[in-house]
Structure 1
């Protein structure tokens, strides 16, 4: 599966159509699942015809991958924007450091419906890759690329404030992201706060970050 079907240069109208299809798919895929959702259902939710769909995406799977990539990029951009705004005084004390950590973690939080949909989308992407051998390489490549980018952002932030991970950056990022995913799923399931993302991640930060 590939997103090469969509050209790099799109008219504003075509870009709006593409974005509406992605917005509709975000809700429909999360509610009904990728496998059981038809292209017609996505088109109906977006208010377009199949022709509009195929002028932007070659398949339902391509749409799904484009959607996942877009949402992951939004999370990464939020993280980059926040880290760029943090000054040294913010982490000068233990209390300030913990507050900064909470702010960084909150950059991944969405409102209640969007949070649930994003958790379900993550699960759908993973299940699709586990069930379809053709989808697995792209899933793994996307995960590795995005985690590497998150690691680069966090390394830059820690270096600015004289901090470092106690383990290899890739290992630390895996632990943090996996904890965030597990905590988010617990939140969707109605688990108590101590089992949700913020608590899990704050505990990990104490273990993974130390002065240089």
Structure 2
């Protein structure tokens, strides 16, 4: 498996056919990584599952590392779209009016997926052994965080609150999400764990935000 040697993959012209090929490879990789584990998966396995040759793979990705990063970007984009949709006033679901309802809507839009967690955990361990790849992941995590924060700020503004420390809030939310995801996956049928998770998010968001009244 080759390592990434730059902080970004080389741009490629994306035609409709190439886009469809990439999507099939991404879908196949998700299945293979979940079943085999990232470290035990091979390009051949992904190609076989997708129904393509190695040539099709390498015309789209330079390595399984790059393939995973594309999967991660796709997953992140879907998550952001779900969060935006959950907080928007659709006419059926009005915008939230309290921190509690905003948190409830956001958490409902972020799936706790066992297979995806296992894939990302294994890839993170792999990246920690590769300085170049670790830098890529850190940069992309920061980019996602800076995309999420304006959405959070907008939701809080709707319920009459303003963020007091953007950086601290962002880091706290990521850490809380990662930690409570493990707890939920360990006890998937335990509603108490899910409720505790929601209360923790409300506490963190409340502690890193304030109302105009609080400032007086």
Query: Normalising TM by the smaller chain, what interval?
Result: 0.7 to 0.9
- CA distance change for structure 1 residues 173 and 201 in 2, over 3 Å: closer, same or farther? farther
What does the per-residue CA deviation read over 1:10-46, in whole Å, with 9 as the maximum and x for residues that have no partner? 2212111100100111121122222211100111111
Bigger relative contact order, structure 1 or 2 (CA pairs below 8 A, ≥6 apart): 2
Deviates more, 1:186-195 or 1:131-140: 186-195
Q: 2:50 aligns with which of 46, 50, 63?
A: 46
Q: 1:179 aligns with which of 166, 172, 176?
A: 176
What does the per-residue CA deviation read over 1:148-202, in whole Å, with 9 as the maximum and x for residues that have no partner? 111121112212332123x512211222222122222222223633334x53243
Count of equivalent residues: 202
> Secondary structure of the residue that 2:80 maps to in structure 1?
helix
**Equivalent residue, structure 2, for 1:85:** 89
1:57-76 equivalences in 2 (<5 Å): 57-76=61-80
Query: In structure 2, how many angstroms separate the alpha carbons of the residues matched to 1:68 and 1:105?
Result: 19
Query: In structure 2, how many angstroms separate the alpha carbons of the residues matched to 1:180 and 1:41?
Result: 31
Contact 1:125 1:139 in 2 (8 A): no
Query: In structure 1, how many angstroms separate the alpha carbons of the residues matched to 2:47 and 2:72?
Result: 18
Cα RMSD of the aligned pairs, angstroms, is: 2.4
| Structure 2: tracts of 5 or more residues without a match | none
> Secondary structure of the residue that 1:134 maps to in structure 2?
helix
> Secondary structure of the residue that 1:79 maps to in structure 2?
helix
1:40-189 equivalences in 2 (<5 Å): 40-85=44-89, 90-92=95-97, 97-109=99-111, 115-165=113-163, 167-189=164-186
Query: In structure 2, how many angstroms separate the alpha carbons of the residues matched to 1:68 and 1:104?
Result: 19
**Equivalent residue, structure 1, for 2:20:** 16
Query: In structure 2, how many angstroms separate the alpha carbons of the residues matched to 1:207 and 1:52?
Result: 46
Contact 1:147 1:173 in 2 (8 A): yes
